Amino acid sequence: MAHSYDLAIVGAGIVGLGMALAATRRGLSVVVADRAPAAFGASIRNFGFVTVTGQKAGAHWARARRSRDVWAEVAPLAGIAVLQRGLVMPAYRAEAFCVLDAFLRTEMGADCRRIEPDEAAERLPALRRAGLRGALHSPHELRVESREALPKLAALLAEAHGVAFHWNTAVHAVRPEGLATSGGLIRADRVVVCPGDDLSTLYPDVIRAAALRICTLQMLRVAPAAPVRLDAAVMSDLSFARYEGFADLAEAVPLVRRLDQEAAEARAAGVHLIAVQSADGSLVVGDSHVYGDRPDPFASERVDALILDELDAVLDLPGRQVRERWTGTYASASDRTVLVEAPEPKVRLAMVTGGTGASTGFALGEEVVGELFGLAPQDFRMQEMAR
């Protein structure tokens, strides 16, 4: 491989593709190496839900806002359909309603609003009205079908931006001259390693020092017996107690206490509700969160039942059937949302450590590429806007 690139990226998940997009927008030559024939990990085993509302306050919330904007720019160029926009979070418990109001008073509540039960039901005709106090409506979110979006994004990068992809190529080591791979040396001036949930192949000592764990989650595809329209993605009271943008508020403490009593089993399994709709009318529903030092290869029927119980508590879908089940994994940290390290000169290790790669990966790419090549992230965005 005689050709030399400005940037070599290890990993073709959403974080790696976000790095590639940021670099090509700066006019850099890019090569991506991935050990698989296509993206198959957390980047496609998810909701395709680009979530802004509820992300951890501060830098991560700002990353989600920026990444959502990039998705909106890139999706039509790549032929990626945006299937839903916005989020509705119904609040049934009084404590959840208090969290909703508290969130609206924060910076993150900008452009969001509280809607009455009638409007919530208009947007979500299947929404259960009994006990509904109101709902949070956010206009920020968008939803794509991940298993279709990732290949289309990679194709756009290859065809329109000249990114070279080396699939089925294992990277053994990072060298001063580039990447030592199963296909030979890939020469590059700089390298970004985006290992996803692979904690042991490249820079394991750096990753070990960050005390990362593996989170295993379960998801389902549910087919309603009769057509159902979801104008927006749906969450629930459990989500108000899980997403850090809500759960970190002081007003969330009473909700957490109540849920720990009323829904102890679901809370222990990390269950909360996200339901989004696909083009065929089916719903992608989840999810759960079980943490350990390795992926759990065995899905739990009981956890699936807990997820479906929460779905049924929020949406009335008589005769619904589960058509598909799967598990996903991602690297997780209790004290950070991203891990960015410089293990060697001209090398960056970059990971999203909270399962929010689709929601924040594009902005993280701008940050890492900008820093690696000596351009501040805010200047990079200004340069993009001026083009």
C-alpha angle 321/322/323, rounded to 5°?
A: 110
User: What pLDDT was estimated at residue 386?
Assistant: 36
User: What pLDDT was estimated at residue 378?
Assistant: 53
User: What pLDDT was estimated at residue 319?
Assistant: 96
338-366: string of b/e by CB count within 10 Å (b at 16+)?
A: bbbbeeeeebbbbbbbbbbbbbbbbbbbb
Question: What average pLDDT does range 70-95 have in this prediction?
Answer: 97
pLDDT score of 314 more than 90: yes
Cβ atoms of residues 320 and 343 within 8 Å = no
Helix, strand, coil percentages, rounded to 5, for the chain: 35, 30, 35
Closest to 99 (Cα-Cα) out of 311, 250, 260: 250
pLDDT score of 28 more than 80: yes
pLDDT score of 385 more than 50: no
User: What pLDDT was estimated at residue 384?
Assistant: 43
User: What pLDDT was estimated at residue 380?
Assistant: 47
pLDDT tens digits, residue range 199-225?
999 999 999 999 999 999 999 999 999
pLDDT tens digits, residue range 121-160?
999 999 999 999 999 999 999 999 999 999 999 999 999 9
Q: Which domains, and CATH codes, for the chain?
A: 4-44+147-210+336-386 (3.50.50.60), 85-140+213-332 (3.30.9.10)
Query: In angstroms, rounded to a whole number, what is the distance separating the alpha carbons of residues 63 and 219?
Result: 25
